[in-house]
């Protein structure tokens, strides 16, 4: 049963190119499946989340992270009576616009574009992917996703204005996104706040003592676990404490969002869209816990000296390749040379680079810049 404020697939604003209804899948289920079968989704398997494979094959990559976000988002959506099919489609597509090398790659690509008077935004790039770059259907370019999924791609984590982004004006920029889209950024934050502690500990870049001292909510649960499992090895105690931390974040998101909906007097989707703030949120106490964990990760993992060589390498590879293609666009693949006849060359190079996997961009670097 859907809540009154949920998005109903039968009320969808539809697709750019009308299609007949599928006999046994609704439109949001079809969108989910189109994302899963896309090339850009498959490429996430070979894109860095935090750790490259130099450390281990066991760590999250951009694809496994996406799957974890989808699992969390589905759980929350079901408890709130939201449209789980739409939530799943949004969770699975939310990272397809990320370039290789994780956030270091995104930073380098944005810097390269700014040197040429533009910028890189992974949400806007994801929209370009599903609208244009994916070529699977004879009747249209892109995946022809529903309005609600396309809207969620750009609005799940950022508020754009029609003044600054007139090309996005069709996406109701003066209104809040539905709760289904609001959940995605929070599910993303919850997923990596806990998963990166796990991977950092497994990589031995974070010690148990560091985490206990630097993440108070983890320490609270670790002490509880020690009382219940005094003879367990540290790794299993770590797992149990982290599981409890994850459950606290997810449970609080469910309960606090329910309270926000009740307090705001939300009756239907129109109320959600008209409300001045986002309704999906953690309580103040738990949000402070999440921020403390995030700050710990930035200070001790993301900006750790151990990872600096890989981040510097990523920035160098993207920067040098970008400038190489600016000077020698004739070495681009023919499809991108053709696109450069209609679009600015920096944007075409950016699109090409952002779609690459970590492995492929290294191959291109060896080919052209060595």
Give SS3 for 130.
helix
Give SS3 for 316.
helix
- What pLDDT shows up at residue 232? 98
> Which residues lie closer than 8 Å to 88 by C-beta, 6 or more apart?
28, 32, 70, 73, 74
Query: Any idea what the Cα angle at residue 84 is, between residues 150 and 154, rounded to 5°?
Result: 20
Cα 16 to Cα 273: distance, rounded to the nearest angstrom = 22
> Does residue 47 contact residue 98 with C-beta atoms inside 8 Å?
yes
CATH fold for the domain made of 25-309: Hypothetical protein af1432 (1.10.3210)
The number of beta carbons lying within 10 Å of the beta carbon of residue 44 is 21
Distances (CA, A) of 302 to 31, 39, 68, 193: 33, 28, 20, 12
Looking at residue 362, what DSSP letter applies? Answer: H
117: left (phi over 0), alpha (psi -120 to 50) or beta: left
- What pLDDT shows up at residue 310? 87
- What pLDDT shows up at residue 54? 62
The domains of the chain are located at 25-309, 310-368
Place of tokens 């390498």: 313
- Note down pLDDT in tens along the chain; length 370 residues: 899 999 999 999 999 999 999 999 999 999 999 999 999 999 999 998 887 656 666 789 999 999 999 999 999 999 999 999 999 999 999 999 999 998 899 999 999 999 999 999 999 999 999 999 999 999 999 999 999 999 999 999 999 999 999 999 999 999 999 999 999 999 999 999 999 999 999 989 999 999 999 999 999 999 999 999 999 999 999 999 999 999 999 999 999 999 999 999 999 999 999 999 999 999 999 999 999 999 999 999 998 888 888 889 999 999 999 999 999 999 999 999 999 999 999 999 999 999 999 999 999 999 999 7
Residues forming beta bridges with residue 48, ordered by sequence position: 61
Burial label, 356 (beta-carbon count in 10 A; 0-12, 13-18, 19+): buried
- What is the Cβ-side half-sphere exposure of residue 248, based on CA atoms within 13 angstroms? 19
Q: Long-range pairs for 225-234 at CB < 8 Å and ≥24 separation? A: 234/208
- What pLDDT shows up at residue 15? 98
- What pLDDT shows up at residue 56? 61
- What pLDDT shows up at residue 53? 58
> Does residue 77 contact residue 183 with C-beta atoms inside 8 Å?
yes
| Nearest Cα to Cα of residue 35 among 88, 83, 72 | 88
What is the DSSP secondary-structure string of 58-127? SS-BHHHHHHHHHHHHHHHHHHHT--HHHHHHHHHHTTTT--TTHHHHHHHHHHHHHTTT----HHHHHH
Cα 76 to Cα 250: distance, rounded to the nearest angstrom = 7
| Nearest Cα to Cα of residue 58 among 197, 192, 196, 202 | 202
Cα 59 to Cα 201: distance, rounded to the nearest angstrom = 11
Cα 366 to Cα 354: distance, rounded to the nearest angstrom = 18
């Amino acid at each position: 049963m859907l809540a009154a404020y949920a998005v109903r697939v039968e009320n969808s604003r539809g697709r750019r190119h009308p299609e007949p209804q599928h006999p046994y899948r609704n439109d949001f289920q079809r969108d989910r499946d189109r994302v899963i079968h896309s090339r850009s989704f498959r490429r996430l398997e070979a894109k860095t989340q935090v750790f490259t494979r130099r450390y281990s094959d066991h760590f999250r990559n951009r694809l496994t992270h996406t799957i974890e976000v989808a699992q969390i988002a589905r759980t929350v959506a079901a408890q709130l009576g939201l449209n789980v099919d739409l939530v799943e489609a949004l969770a699975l597509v939310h990272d397809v616009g990320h370039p290789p090398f994780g956030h270091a790659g995104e930073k380098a690509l944005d810097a390269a574009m700014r040197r040429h008077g533009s910028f890189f935004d992974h949400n806007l790039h994801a929209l370009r992917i599903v609208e244009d770059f994916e070529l699977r259907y004879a009747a249209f370019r892109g995946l022809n996703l529903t309005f609600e999924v396309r809207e969620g791609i750009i609005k799940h984590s950022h508020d754009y204005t029609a003044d600054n982004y007139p090309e996005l004006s069709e996406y109701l920029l003066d209104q809040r996104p539905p709760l289904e889209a609001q959940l995605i950024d929070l599910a993303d934050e919850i997923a990596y706040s806990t998963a990166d502690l796990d991977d950092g500990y497994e990589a031995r870049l974070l010690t148990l003592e560091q985490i206990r001292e630097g993440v108070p909510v983890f320490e609270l649960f670790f002490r509880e676990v020690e009382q219940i499992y005094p003879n367990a090895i540290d790794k299993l105690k770590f797992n149990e404490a982290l599981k409890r931390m994850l459950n606290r974040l997810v449970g609080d998101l469910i309960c606090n969002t329910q309270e926000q909906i009740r307090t705001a007097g939300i009756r239907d989707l129109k109320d959600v869209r008209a409300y001045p703030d986002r309704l999906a949120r953690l309580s103040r106490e738990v949000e402070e816990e999440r921020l403390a964990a995030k700050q710990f990760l930035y200070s001790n993992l993301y900006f750790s000296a151990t990872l600096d060589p890989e981040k510097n390498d990523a920035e160098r590879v993207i920067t040098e390749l970008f400038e190489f293609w600016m000077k020698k666009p004739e070495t681009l693949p023919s499809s991108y040379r053709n696109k450069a006849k209609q679009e600015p060359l920096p944007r075409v190079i950016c699109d090409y680079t952002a779609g690459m996997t970590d492995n492929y961009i290294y191959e291109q670097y060896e080919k052209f810049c060595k």
